[in-house]
Amino acid sequence: WRLYECVDGPLPREYSRDYQQHEIGNPILAVTLEPGDVMYFPRGFIHQAIAVGDTFSHHVTVSTYQRSSWADFMSKTVDTALNKLFDSDFAFRKSLPVGWSGYMGPAYDEDNGSGSDLPETKKRKRSSGEAATRATRQRLQHEFGRTYSKLLRRLSATLHINSMDLHEAANEFMIDFQVNRMAPYLPSSAKGAAAGRKRGEATSAEEMETEEMDAATMVAIANLKPSSRIRFRNPSWARMVFDEDQDTEAEGDRTPVILLFSTLKNDRAHHMDGEHTPDPSCLKFPRTEEHVRSLQMLFDWPIRPDGRGGPQQKGPWVHLRDLAFHNFQDAKAFAVALLAESLIDVDQGDK
């Protein structure tokens, strides 16, 4: 394997074209990988893989964080600010000028490719009418640009992002990532069955679960008691979002709810094929202080100083009696909803 410096700068968003050898220079690393070896290198570094001797070689390249840059995240916060300005500032709701497409665009950008480098014999001679049209077009382009700059300054002045805006943007960013990027979780007891299935035969964790797992879930539900402990099997599988109940008929009467999105039922057959936009899997809870605080307790997983999660990637154990609910029945109903979605582990505390 040979690695080369990034030709177009570090951390590009898109895949590079195939470069000629003289364009990439000398390798910065040359190493022989054996079967089963894994090598990590930052996104954008060019690599060549050449089989040793007369043998064949096959490798898989996995790219990560291509759509997880600061620019990608900031696009969410800018969208939030624009939506707020659309609601509060009339100038942002005004229509574009009538006829704007007749003077905006490369076909009308005479400063670009205006022919200033052409010999005099090749330059176009303009009539007085054409000169007047050109002057009008330039004036309209200037007014268009001036209006855009004015609105851009207003947007910049309002971009004092508070913590709520950042949390909302984080939710939008992560839900998009979970729905469109994350593969569905496959329960360990279903992995053997999955190996023998054809593409598209099973598209969710629920369909892959065996009767034995269903029975185990029912036993766990039946045995729940105040001393039972629950925890997220992996908090990164789920995302808590505050929203309004879209199923309510009257928009003004929509009830505040908590939506708990998860990756466990992502579509297996069409995952990331670019042609389908799946509906994300989510649980819906009423937005009460008890539900908010109880979910926050389950999301309170260990974080190292560098911001990464704990080595086990497990949430903290929480006794049902310690959840924020005022009675055990509400706490049990909360746990049952999470357990039915395979989001939590249960420890009955019998040992």
pLDDT at residue 60, rounded to an integer: 83
**Under a CB-based contact definition with an 8 Å cutoff, are residues 100 and 137 in contact?**
no
Q: What is the pLDDT of residues 165-204, one digit of tens each?
A: 778 788 888 877 777 677 666 554 443 333 333 333 333 3
Structure tokens, 19: 């470069």
pTM: 0.64
Long-range contacts made by residues 37-44, C-beta under 8 angstroms, separation at least 24? 39/1, 41/3, 42/10, 42/11, 43/10, 43/11, 43/12, 44/6, 44/8, 44/9, 44/10, 44/11, 44/12, 44/16
For each of the domains in the chain, give its residue range(s) and CATH number, in order of start. Answer: 1-66 (no CATH), 70-114+123-161 (no CATH), 203-347 (3.90.930.40)
pLDDT at residue 183, rounded to an integer: 67
**DSSP states of 292-307 as a string?**
HHHHHHHT---B-TTS
CA distances from 76 to 68, 79, 173, 294, 308 (A): 12, 5, 7, 28, 23
Nearest by Cα to 338 from 257, 238, 241: 238
pLDDT at residue 211, rounded to an integer: 39
CA dihedral 221, 216, 339, 318 (to 10 degrees): 70
pLDDT at residue 207, rounded to an integer: 43
pLDDT at residue 255, rounded to an integer: 86
**Under a CB-based contact definition with an 8 Å cutoff, are residues 262 and 161 in contact?**
no
Q: What is the pLDDT of residues 124-166, one digit of tens each?
A: 556 677 788 888 989 999 999 999 999 999 888 877 666 667 7
**Under a CB-based contact definition with an 8 Å cutoff, are residues 172 and 242 in contact?**
no
pLDDT at residue 140, rounded to an integer: 92
Maximum pairwise Cα distance, the chain: 96
Q: Which residue has the tokens 């049952």?
A: 336
CA dihedral 277, 281, 285, 290 (to 10 degrees): -120
CA dihedral 235, 239, 241, 247 (to 10 degrees): -120
SS3 content of the chain, % helix, strand, coil (to 5): 40, 10, 50
Strands across the sheet containing 256-262 = 238-244, 256-262, 281-286
Q: Residues in the chain with pLDDT < 50?
A: 115, 118, 188-213, 311, 351
**Under a CB-based contact definition with an 8 Å cutoff, are residues 124 and 116 in contact?**
no
Strand bridging mode 256-262 / 281-286? antiparallel
**Under a CB-based contact definition with an 8 Å cutoff, are residues 7 and 39 in contact?**
no
